[in-house]
Amino acid sequence: MEKNLALVLLLSPFVGFLFNIFFGKKVSRTVSGAIGTLTVVLSFLLSICFFSQLNQSGKPFEFSVFDWIQVSNFKLDFGILLDQLSLLWLLFVTGIGSLIHLYSISYMHDDENMHKFFAYLNLFVFFMITLVVGSNLLVMFIGWEGVGLCSYLLIGFWYKNQDYNDAAKKAFIMNRVGDLGFLIGMFIIGALFSTLNYAEIKTALAAGNADTALLGVAALCLFIGATGKSAQLPLYTWLPDAMAGPTPVSALIHAATMVTAGIFMVTRMNFVFDLTPDVQNIIAIVGALTALVAASIGLLQNDIKKVLAYSTVSQLGLMFLALGFGAYNVAVFHVITHAFFKACLFLGSGSVIHGLHGEQDMRNMGGLRKAMPITFWTMMISTLAIAGIFPFAGFWSKDEILMVAFEHNKVLYVIASIASIMTAFYMFRLMYLTFFREFRGTEEQKHHLHESPSLITIPLIILAVLAVIGGAINLPGSMWLTHFLEPILGKHEAHALGTHEFMLMGVALVGALVGILWANAKYIKQAFVPKSDAEITGFNKTIYDKYYVDEFYTFLIVKPINGLSNFFRTTLEPALGKVVFSFGSLANGLGTQGKKIQNGNIGLYLFVFVIGVCAIITYLFIAQ
Amino acid sequence: MDVTTILLLLLVGAVATFLAGDKLASKVALVFSLGTLGVSLSLLNQLLQGTDISFVGTWIDNPKVALAFKADGLAMAMVLLTTALTPLIVFSSFGNHFNNSKNFYALVLFMAFAMAGTFLAADGLLYYIFWELALIPIYFIALVWGNGDAEERKKAVLKFFIYTLGGSLFMLIAFAYLYSKAGSFLLEDLYNLDLSAGEESWIFLAFFLAYAIKIPIIPFHTWQAKVYQKAPTVGTMLLSGIMLKMGLYSVIRWQLPIAPHAAKEYMPILIGLSIAGVIYGSIVALRQKDLKKLLAYSSLAHVGLIAAGCYTLTLDGLSGAVAQMIAHGFVIVGLFFVAEIIYRRYETRTITDMGGIRTQTPKFTSMFMILVLASVALPGTYNFVGEFTVLYSLSQANLWFAVLGGTTIILGAYYMLKMFQNVMLGETNAKAFADVTSSEAITLVAIIAFLLFFGLYPKPITDLVEPTLKEILAVINK
Amino acid sequence: MNNILNQIGIENYIFLSVLLFCIGVFGVLYRRNAIIVFMSIEIMLNAVNLLFVAFSTYHQDSEGQVFVFFSMAVAAAEVAVGLAILVSVFRNLGSIDIDNLKNLKG
């Protein structure tokens, strides 16, 4: 029974995908959207059932569906594991997924390919569930690659625009760089433990006979996989470009769920990472640097979605910082709160873009507060949450990350704090430029300004509420989340709330306020509007152009490979061909020389023949 | 019933097709190829139930050549690949018109006969005869019914013919030497032969030349792209889908067990060369302007990985290689068919002349996309099973092999997606593009269904080939 | 062993045979007329036949004579084919001078 329910939970979105792919065109758009949404809602409801059951029994639920791949030293089955971690992820993946599906019914209603959009979204949810519920690394890898595929399909959803297609392709390929790391990590673990099943790896590790050097390599490779999917240095550049996709996609895939897969994986494999402190250090450093770099780029972006994209990268960096210190519970906490407010922010930005008929440049916005009150207030709440203002959800989770960082490494703490201040600044810059002061767009746009329909605002409101109260799941006093995850992550001693902690909270809060005031001074008091692209100069231009990282990659990797390809194609291939042909030429040359003997003079032939016979006879005589 | 039924049926089919006349030829060919598929499936069933379906008869007394056809799991898997792809290939050509179609389809069936014979033969000389026999039909198919400038085509096809024939001659010499030692060409006798290290090296190299050209492994691949480009699509499918696998299969069946010590000695070089082929093929594919040539180089990259798997001399490597052979056979046939479908409508193979097709053809786009994804080995397709197992076996040999071979998942995605983007996406093409006809769709759906089914449930094939591979490994490690 | 061989002696047969053979060879080498070349070849053949028979008698072994029958039969066939070729060459080229037959020049 449970087994079947779990399969329904997994396959329900897939059924939605099949329906929409095959029959989506035949039914009306609303029906197609409704079916897409309902299948995800069903998964959500089942997740709640399993969750409450797990809460009572405390026993994780694991079973194997069928045998899949067999290699010599172990067998890989398609196994499902529903434990605390996977159910937690399931809840917010399907929950937020449902909301975003609902939102998309309205948002995508005018698109002729809406049924495909829902098909892809459903497929994404299916793969995300697969990623989360797999009981071994290979099943996770199916989901891992599958969500990458859906990301590719959805970024390039408007396929007529080749720039979007380029962005989609870039996302897929950069993800695949990470995937190679994942694969190699999987191979090493498979070779070491003869299994890829989480529980079995854990048992084997507990027995304590692992080659730590090799284990370190494996952990590092897995982390490379995570940097690809979760957009960390140096593989983060695809995520901002991924904003080419429709906004609900950005919200669902590129902010709330898929990009957290890397964090999920590291948390899942916590027992491996715990044994490899060097790799943990690397994770922490990479996380902190990503947070800083992305936040600094976010300071000067003018595309509303790009700002949110860089803020996502930056927040993911903070989560990795926590992971690097072994504070998995803290990272998970931030994943969840971040999912709430970042989904809300993206959907809000979608509402704005929807209201302005596709305008994404904040220089052409402003003053939308009055026209779109619900969008404004929900986004404001989420902005306060992401900036880390008491008592919104982001305050609690970010504060815990900073606290952990302070405990372990002061330098990284400072970096993370700077990133947080920047976050507060650019998020309020976004709010001020979008919603405050006068409208800077065209008259026609102004004329059409309106609040979005309720299918768009309801998800916004729900998410905003969650962004307010989401912090409750792991308040310093109760620490419900931490306790809930104990079976997987082991015991973490709860912070006693001393003066020390209050002081850190205060510092974080002051930092956030500084960022907000700085934005207020610049964009409200001075009424500053960012300059047009051509006027940006100096270091600002460097930041505006994202430190030229893309250009650097193009120069360092893409160009050489393409150059090599051209060289191989135009020079080496023909040269190799010539070597083969040279054998033919050799034969030809011999023939040209040889044919001179063949002059057709029968008399000569006979003469040579007789001479030959004589020579042979003579030789035979001498030989005797 | 034994496996000779398959061969006879194909041969009779070839004759019947020839006699049926131009109008009926394609249908007769389809009927016979489907019949063969049915027969081989029922034979597979018998094999699984433990019936011996091998055939051993006498043929020539001096030199002692037996008419021996051995049907174990591995050989049956490859025969099934042949008999399953042949009807698909024949059926896919229904939208084309060929002059003298009776000759054409008779040659196709004759080629299937020769290839099935190669997979089944358990006697060195018999095997060699089938091996060379397969070359003759494809030579004429490519030469007579090919496309492009006739002079250039003649040059390319002749080069291919002489090159592969020349390589095979070394194999013949090796067989002659082995016969002088063993007094028989029978596979078992050759397996049991004790050769000195020096002898093994020479035998191994002679085999290697023949197979490296056929597979092809760089730098012996120069015939490939041009022939793929110039041959008619049916010929390209036969070549890439089945004929390449003859080389890979022979590595497993003949080269490794006969000269195991040499294989072990040269292992790093061989794997290195194969992986170099993976990277080289991928990089060259990046900037190809011709769709068929691009697919040819992608094929070069994939078979490189398969060859690397074979040369690891581990069970994982071999079974992964077999899985990948079958998967690649299907996917490459599908992709070449896609190229043909586009050619039927746009009469071009130049990628820059395409683009913006997607809007007009939702079904075709989806199927093409799935084939592209299968080609880049997305989990859930059979290609992934093969690639995963091969890469795992490489990682056991040396982690760097897996890293370098694994670049195929990055580079493969790069050139395939780039190709897909340039062919299908972008502003709607001004030229009309009719969506796939039902017969075209059937072919593609059959291929996709196969790849997805075994991608999720590869066990039947694994179980079929693994006992044979274990036997071969036992010979290698004796 | 009282036959004609004893009276004449094997050496003389050999001498005669070599002489005939040489005549044949020189005929082949120096004459331009294809028919004469042909006849010269016949002389050479018969020289060898003579030797065969002589040795056959000398060794008291009939195998040599059997061979001679063979070679005579083959020679007859060869003449038939060869003359036919020559006739058709003559029809085509109007001459049977072997210097004119240079179509095989490489």
User: Residue B478: which pLDDT band, with cuts at 50, 70 and 90?
Assistant: confident
Q: Which of C26, C32, C101, C104 to mutate to test the interface with A (most CBs of A within 10 A)?
A: C104
pLDDT of B477 above 60:
yes
With touching defined as 3 or more inter-chain CB pairs under 8 Å, the answer for chains B and C is no
pLDDT digits (tens, 9 = 90+) for A520-556: 888 878 877 777 777 777 777 777 777 788 888 888 8
Beta A74-82 vs A61-71: how paired, if at all?
Answer: antiparallel
Q: Which of B459, B463, B465, B477 to mutate to test the interface with A (most CBs of A within 10 A)?
A: B459
Statement to judge: residues A511 and A557 lie in one domain:
no
C-alpha B32/C-alpha B9 separation (Å) is: 7
Statement to judge: residues A461 and A579 lie in one domain:
no
Is residue B28 assigned to a domain?
Answer: no
Is A592 an interface residue toward C (CB < 8 Å)? no
Looking at chain A, the whole-number percentage of residues with pLDDT higher than 90 is: 19
* Residues within 8 A of B (CB atoms), A 238-267 only: none
Q: Which of A17, A580, A586, A588 to mutate to test the interface with B (most CBs of B within 10 A)?
A: A580
Is residue B27 assigned to a domain?
Answer: no
pLDDT for residue B107: 93
pLDDT digits (tens, 9 = 90+) for B409-461: 999 999 999 999 988 888 877 788 888 888 889 999 999 999 999 998 888 89
pLDDT for residue A620: 94
pLDDT for residue A495: 59
User: Which of A530, A564, A588 is the last residue in one of the domains?
Assistant: A530
Between C105 and A179, where is the model more confident?
A: A179
Task: Note whether C25 contacts A610, CB cutoff 8 Å.
Answer: yes
pLDDT digits (tens, 9 = 90+) for B34-54: 999 999 999 999 998 888 888
What DSSP element (H or E) covers A67? strand A61-71
pLDDT for residue C2: 56
Task: Note whether C99 contacts A602, CB cutoff 8 Å.
Answer: yes
pLDDT for residue B134: 92
Is residue B380 assigned to a domain?
Answer: yes
Is C5 an interface residue toward A (CB < 8 Å)? no
Domain span at residue B281?
Answer: 259-478
Between A476 and B213, where is the model more confident?
A: B213
Return the CATH fold of C4-98.
Answer: Helix Hairpins (1.10.287)
Is residue A267 assigned to a domain?
Answer: no
Task: Note whether A598 contacts C105, CB cutoff 8 Å.
Answer: yes
Is A601 an interface residue toward C (CB < 8 Å)? yes
Is C23 an interface residue toward A (CB < 8 Å)? no
pLDDT for residue A251: 84
Is residue A536 assigned to a domain?
Answer: no
What string of DSSP letters covers C13-26?
HHHHHHHHHHHHHH
The contacts of residue A484 (CB under 8 Å, 6+ apart) are A84, A88
Do A523 and A429 meet the contact criterion of CB atoms below 8 Å apart? Answer: yes
Domain span at residue A596?
Answer: 553-623
Task: Note whether A162 contacts B284, CB cutoff 8 Å.
Answer: no
Task: Note whether B409 contacts A577, CB cutoff 8 Å.
Answer: no
- Residue C69, min C-alpha distance to chain A (Å): 25
Nearest Cα to Cα of residue B281 among B340, B240, B334: B240
Do B159 and B223 meet the contact criterion of CB atoms below 8 Å apart? Answer: yes
Which of A146, A565, A584 minimises the CB distance to B283? Answer: A565
Task: Note whether B425 contacts A576, CB cutoff 8 Å.
Answer: no
Task: Note whether B283 contacts A568, CB cutoff 8 Å.
Answer: yes
Find how far residue A134's CA is from the centre of its chain.
18
C-alpha B223/C-alpha B241 separation (Å) is: 16
pLDDT digits (tens, 9 = 90+) for B118-148: 999 999 999 999 999 999 999 999 999 988 8
Statement to judge: residues A493 and A369 lie in one domain:
yes
A57-66, A279-288, C34-43, range with the lowest pLDDT: A57-66
Domains held by chain B: number: 1
Is C101 an interface residue toward A (CB < 8 Å)? yes
If one counts every other C-beta atom within 10 angstroms of the C-beta of residue A146, the result is: 21
pLDDT for residue C101: 76
Q: Which of C98, C100, C101, C103 to mutate to test the interface with A (most CBs of A within 10 A)?
A: C98
Q: What is the ipTM of this complex?
A: 0.90
Do A327 and A482 meet the contact criterion of CB atoms below 8 Å apart? Answer: no
pLDDT digits (tens, 9 = 90+) for A442-480: 777 777 778 888 888 888 888 888 888 888 888 777 777
- Residue A31, min C-alpha distance to chain B (Å): 20
pLDDT digits (tens, 9 = 90+) for A158-183: 888 888 888 899 999 999 999 999 99
Give the torsion sign (CA, A472, A474, A479, A481).
positive
pLDDT for residue B15: 94
pLDDT digits (tens, 9 = 90+) for A133-149: 988 898 999 999 999 99
Is B393 an interface residue toward A (CB < 8 Å)? yes
pLDDT for residue A534: 73
User: Residue B301: which pLDDT band, with cuts at 50, 70 and 90?
Assistant: very high
Is residue A288 assigned to a domain?
Answer: yes
C-alpha B376/C-alpha B434 separation (Å) is: 27
Is residue B85 assigned to a domain?
Answer: no
User: Residue C98: which pLDDT band, with cuts at 50, 70 and 90?
Assistant: confident
Is residue B452 assigned to a domain?
Answer: yes
Do C43 and C24 meet the contact criterion of CB atoms below 8 Å apart? Answer: yes
CA angle (A336, A341, A342) in 5-degree steps: 90
Task: Note whether A599 contacts C105, CB cutoff 8 Å.
Answer: yes
What DSSP element (H or E) covers A197? none
Statement to judge: residues A567 and A524 lie in one domain:
no
pLDDT for residue A202: 87
pLDDT for residue A492: 66
With b meaning 16 or more CB within 10 Å and e meaning fewer, what string describes B71-100?
A: bbbbbbbbbbbbbbbbbbbbbbbeebebee
With CA atoms as reference, the chain B residue closest to A73 would be B316
pLDDT digits (tens, 9 = 90+) for A338-375: 998 899 999 989 888 888 887 888 888 877 888 888 88
Statement to judge: residues A463 and A587 lie in one domain:
no
- Residue A71, min C-alpha distance to chain B (Å): 6
Which chain A residues are closer than 8 Å to B288 by Cβ? Answer: 569
Is B410 an interface residue toward A (CB < 8 Å)? yes
pLDDT for residue A263: 92
B contact chains, 3+ CB pairs < 8 A:
A
User: Taking all residues of chain B, what is their mean pLDDT, rounded to a whole number?
Assistant: 90
Global pTM?
0.88
pLDDT for residue B326: 94
Is A77 an interface residue toward B (CB < 8 Å)? no
Is residue A335 assigned to a domain?
Answer: yes
With CA atoms as reference, the chain A residue closest to C33 would be A603
With touching defined as 3 or more inter-chain CB pairs under 8 Å, the answer for chains C and A is yes
Domains held by chain A: number: 2
Task: Note whether A607 contacts C29, CB cutoff 8 Å.
Answer: yes
Q: Which residues make beta-bridge pairs with A70?
A: A75
Size of interface A-C (CB pairs under 8 A): 31
pLDDT for residue C106: 59
Which of B221, B356, B385 minimises the CB distance to A69? Answer: B385
Which chain B residues are closer than 8 Å to A177 by Cβ? Answer: 410
Looking at chain C, the whole-number percentage of residues with pLDDT higher than 70 is: 92
Which chain B residues are closer than 8 Å to A149 by Cβ? Answer: 373, 378
Is residue B424 assigned to a domain?
Answer: yes
Is C91 an interface residue toward A (CB < 8 Å)? no
pLDDT digits (tens, 9 = 90+) for B237-282: 999 999 999 999 999 999 999 999 999 999 999 999 999 999 999 9
pLDDT for residue A496: 61
Statement to judge: residues A433 and A558 lie in one domain:
no
Is residue B6 assigned to a domain?
Answer: no
Q: Which of B159, B220, B283, B407 to mutate to test the interface with A (most CBs of A within 10 A)?
A: B283
Task: Note whether A606 contacts C28, CB cutoff 8 Å.
Answer: yes
Statement to judge: residues A427 and A576 lie in one domain:
no
Q: How many angstroms separate the Cα of B349 from the Cα of each of A273, A574, B146?
A: 50, 21, 14
